[in-house]
Amino acid sequence: MSFKATQYIWHNGHFVPWQDAKIHVLSHGLHYGSSVFEGIRAYATPKGTAIFRLTDHLERMYESARIHRMRIPYSLGDLHEACRQIVRNNRLTKGAYLRPIAYRGMIGYSLAPNPDAPVEVAIAATEMAAFLGNEALEKGVDACISSWQRPAANTLPVSAKAGGNYLSSQQISMEAARHGYHEGIALNVDGMLSEGGGENLFLVKKGVLYTPPTGAAILAGITRDSILQLGRQLGYEVREQALPREALYVCDEAFFTGTACEITPIRSIDGLQIGNGGRGPITAEIQDAFFGLFNGSTHDAWGWLEHVGGGEIEVQHDLAAALA
């Protein structure tokens, strides 16, 4: 997933030029993965640019920080407004990908940092290229079952979206790429389906939607939750249940969900074609309903679209002034 530099990054209460957003090489988060973050999308809509489920994303970020005993030094309202402003200041009127992150800075080498140790915060916003390839949303991707498993319960808090957790994701995705696949799918320690390297997983069998439960060592995705609700609204039965690996080999359709990949069909698994070898009809219907939220054809009954509002604003150089 590539991106182009934008003009500004919000860093510790200031809008700074892209090239000046820096951290120290001895930052705790760099050495130990002590960071929590979110990936958030903004879309162009008939009513202007809107950030999809911004509040839900930020609430999860604060929950992740609590799990790891990190105190974010800004309120959720502060970061909510900063996210809206970074989109405006970078003139991202056609949509954007936002990456707010909170991390422990240069606080020493301790593995037991003081809970009051300073936490730094940054928010980047860039244009977003297709996560799994330009044709993936229509033609689908090829996936494989990874040799890497997701962590066992009570070994690592997988419900937190933390930087260190993504070393596991990198192993899954890099292994898949080495073997010629677009993405890998991990099992949990019980040998049941978990999730992709950076995506949640759905299967369709005889008109029923299936997805692994939160107890399957998955990150409970915001997009996953959106599809659970949209699927039910469309009249489909949706089941969150443990699924064996072979369920993928005999399903009618399968797809990934995530902020980056949105809803991406899976056309094959371990070299076995799934369904028609492309985007299945139920996947297409769910895609239409999801993207309809942004073109206006699907009513946003949940209040998921949080509009950026206003036009370009003058860049402020401290948070207090920016939020005044």
Residues marked as catalytic: 161
- How many angstroms separate the CA atoms of 275 and 98, rounded? 34
Helix 222-233 × helix 54-67 angle, to 10°: 130
Q: Which helix (H) or strand (E) covers residue 32, if one does?
A: helix 28-32
Beta bridge partners of 187: 149, 193
Q: Is 132 exposed, middle or buried (0-12, 13-18, 19+ CB in 10 A)?
A: buried
End-to-end CA distance of the chain: 35
Separation of alpha carbons 172 and 144, rounded Å: 10
Q: Which of 216, 286, 225 is nearest to 258 (CA)?
A: 225
Tell me what percent of the chain is helix, strand and coil, each rounded to the nearest 5. Answer: 30, 30, 45
**Amino acid at position 119, single letter:** V
Task: For residue 239, give both structure tokens.
Answer: 């089941």
DSSP summary character for residue 292: H
